[in-house]
Amino acid sequence: MPACTGTMKMSPLVLWFHKLGSPPYFYRLAGRFLPWLYAIALVTGAVGLYGGLVVAPADYQQGDSFRMIYVHVPCAWMSLFVYAFMAANSFVALVWRIKLSETLAMASAPVGAAFTFITLVSGSLWGKPMWGTWWTWDARLTSELVLLFLYLGVIGLYHAIEDARQAARAAAFLALIGVVNLPIVHYSVVWWNTLHQGQTVSLMGQSKMSSSMLWPLLTMAFATHVYFFASLLARSRAALLALESGKEWVRGIAQTQEAHAHG
Amino acid sequence: MTPTRKRRLIAVALILLAVGVAAALTVTALSQNMTYLFSPTETLAGKAPPGASFKLGGVVLESSIKRDPNSLKVDFVVTDRFKQIPVEYTGILPDLFREGQSVIATGKMQGDRFIAREVLAKHDESYMPKEVADAIAKAKAAHAAETK
């Protein structure tokens, strides 16, 4: 077939993508990025928290209690972002059976679950003094709780099956199905009457927040994103070592480390 | 793309499409049946379940809050700016409870009064420092005085 002759010539981007999919290459590259990501997340996180908890003025109605927003909202955004990331990798893992995508999807699940948990707890702590209740079964709160259960389901399913690659594919399938919950979480405050307020910050159009209060929030959002990728790379590196423990490149790393340890 | 991958891609896409349609149908069905709260207009039109507990949502009417000096009993009027319902509540109110604030009260109608066992304050999505809020209020007052 004449069409097949072109497949040998790959654009540099596609070639890089293929290289990235190889576990040893990814392991080395991730190891080089990791300290930088942790440092950036730590510095921007500290700036964002200081800006939010100290510099930003108190809200005209809520007083200082509104400062919970600087933890709650970035974590809530991350709970959705991480799920979308996990689902996208699950999709690639299911169709193309790329080992790295399986690893990335499974490594992001516990991080996403943690962000979702923090979202629910911080919202609850804020809700008691402001709304007058820890919890109510409105559409936003309920769909966010479903999101936590989806994360826990993916983690649980992954660990319930012995063979790691089969387990990843089964869990990836669940992660992909659960993606329908994302628009429900996001639009729940629009589609239904909820106790939870509507969207304050929007990508398009005016944000309903003063700029003196907004910049720490956006800084925190940036910090949580960088932290997620740092945590993801660290977890994926560990998972790849375990998954490929019989391979030559892992043995090479083990030998170098042993040599280092013995001086 | 190899035939196997193409087959997998189509299968996964079809399953996603099916799940998406199922979710969309469920959401539309729920949005017709699932009501978190009833407004005073809906309540007085008889849409709220009679004799049963439900959630009443609206704004606390300005200068309608009357506190009993000897107990935690509070009387106020909830309005949606069309109809009004007097509400009675005994207990501690949330921080955001004030005149002109949105509230959601859970309880039952007793005659034409709503007896609440829980009152929640709904917050809106605006955040601003006190100085800005004062400045806006001042500008609004000035504008109102000008147009009079």
- Check whether residue B60 and residue B105 sit in a common domain: yes
Q: Of A238-242, B110-114, B135-139, which gets the smallest average pLDDT?
A: B135-139
Residue A155: its pLDDT value, please? 96
Residues B21, B44, single domain; the answer is: no
B20, B34, B128 ranked by CB distance to A180: nearest: B20
Which segments of A86-239 are extended strands (E)? none
Residue A5 above 70 pLDDT?
no
Tell me the CA end-to-end span of chain A in Å, nearest whole number.
57
pLDDT bin (cut points 50, 70, 90) of residue B148 is low
**What DSSP character marks residue A245?**
T
B134 belongs to a structural domain:
no
- The mean pLDDT value for A236-251 works out to 92
- Say if residues B79 and B66 touch (Cβ distance below 8 Å): no
Q: Are residues B116 and B50 in the same domain?
A: yes
Residue type, B55: K
At residue B32, the pLDDT reads 67
Assess whether B66 and B109 both reside in one domain: yes
Angle at CA of residue B56, ends B58 and B45, nearest 5°: 95
Same domain, B53 and B23: no
B residues 19-78 closer than 8 Å to A (CB): 19-20, 22-23, 27, 31, 34-37, 57
Identify from A131, A194, A213, A218 which residue to disrupt to test chain B contact, counting B C-beta atoms within 10 A and taking the largest count.
Answer: A131
A60–B133: do the CB atoms touch at under 8 Å?
A: yes
The bridge status of strand B113-122 relative to strand B54-60 is unpaired
Instruction: Kindly report whether the global pTM for this prediction surpasses the value 0.90.
Output: no
B30 and B6 together in one domain: yes
Q: Cβ A57–B129 below 8 Å, yes or no?
A: yes
Q: How far apart are CA A125 and CA B37, in angstroms?
A: 23
What whole-number distance in Å separates Cα of residue B13 and Cα of residue B33? Answer: 30
Domain count, chain B: 2
Q: What is the pLDDT of residue B52?
A: 84
Nearest CA in chain B to A59: B129
The answer to whether position B44 is within a domain reads yes
Cβ contact, residue pair B126, A208, below 8 Å? yes
Q: What is the mean pLDDT of residues B85-105?
A: 89
Q: Is the pLDDT of residue B81 over 80?
A: yes
Say yes or no: B19 and B71 in one domain: no
Q: Which one of A58, A96, A132 has the shortest CB-CB distance to B94?
A: A132
Report the candidate in A175, A85, A170, A176 with the shortest Cα–Cα distance to residue B12.
Answer: A176
Interface of A with B (CB under 8 A): 57-63, 65-66, 69, 91, 94-96, 129-133, 136, 138-139, 176-177, 179-181, 184, 191-195, 197-200, 208-210, 212-213
Does A197 contact B124 at a Cβ distance shorter than 8 Å? Answer: yes
Chain B residues within 8 A of A66 when measuring between CB atoms: 127
Please answer whether residues A177 and B19 qualify as being in contact, where contact means their C-beta atoms are separated by less than 8 angstroms.
yes
Mark whether B45 and B24 lie in a shared domain.
no
d(CA A87, CA A183): 13
Give the range among A57-61, A172-176, B75-79, B126-130 with minimum mean pLDDT: B126-130
Residue A148 confidence (pLDDT) above 90: yes
CB B91 within 8 A of CB B141: no
Q: How far is B51 from chain A (nearest CA, A)?
A: 22
Is B49 in the same domain as B6? no
Instruction: Quote the mean pLDDT of chain A.
Output: 90
Pairwise pLDDT comparison (B42 vs A122), residue with the higher score: A122
Name the residue of chain A whose CA is nearest to B131's CA: A60
Looking at residue B101, which CATH number applies to its domain? 2.40.50.140
Structure tokens that stand for A263 in this block: 């001086």
Q: Which helix (H) or strand (E) holds B75?
A: strand B73-79
| CA B40 – CA B77 distance, rounded (Å) | 10
- When scoring B17, B123, B131 by the number of chain A Cβ atoms within 10 A, the one with the most, hence best to mutate, is B123
Give percent of chain A with pLDDT exceeding 70: 95
Comparing B88 with A10, the larger pLDDT belongs to: B88
**pLDDT computed for residue B33 by the predictor:** 65
* C-beta atoms of B125 and A65 within 8 A: no
Q: Provide the pLDDT for residue B49.
A: 77
B52 lies in the same domain as B107: yes
- What's residue A4's pLDDT? 45
Residue type, A157: L
What does the pLDDT read at residue B116?
92
Q: Please give, rounded to a whole number of angstroms, the shortest distance from the CA of A39 to a CA of chain B.
A: 31
Decide if B86 is inside a domain: yes
**pLDDT, average across residues A217-228:** 96
- Smallest CA-to-CA distance from B7 within A97, A84, A73 is with A97
Q: Which domain holds residue B77?
A: 40-121
More confident residue, B134 or A28: A28
Q: Is residue B127, in this structure, part of any structural domain at all?
A: no
The percent of residues in chain B predicted with pLDDT above 70, rounded, is 96
Reported as a single tens digit per residue, the pLDDT across A93-110 is: 999 888 999 999 999 999
**CB pairs < 8 Å spanning A and B:** 112
Tell me, yes or no, whether B50 and B15 share the same domain: no
Pairing of strands B54-60, B102-110: antiparallel
Q: Which alpha helices (DSSP H) does A161-204 contain, by range?
A: 164-177, 181-191
Residue B56: inside a domain, yes or no?
yes
Residues B45 and B30 in one domain: no
**How far is the CA of B36 from the CAs of A133, A218, A238, in angstroms?**
15, 31, 46
Selection from A245, A218, A89 nearest residue A154 by Cα:
A89
Residues A126-144 have a mean pLDDT of: 90
Using CB atoms, pick whichever of B94, B122, B130 lies closest to residue A58. B130
Q: Give the C-alpha separation, B43 to B110, whole Å.
A: 12
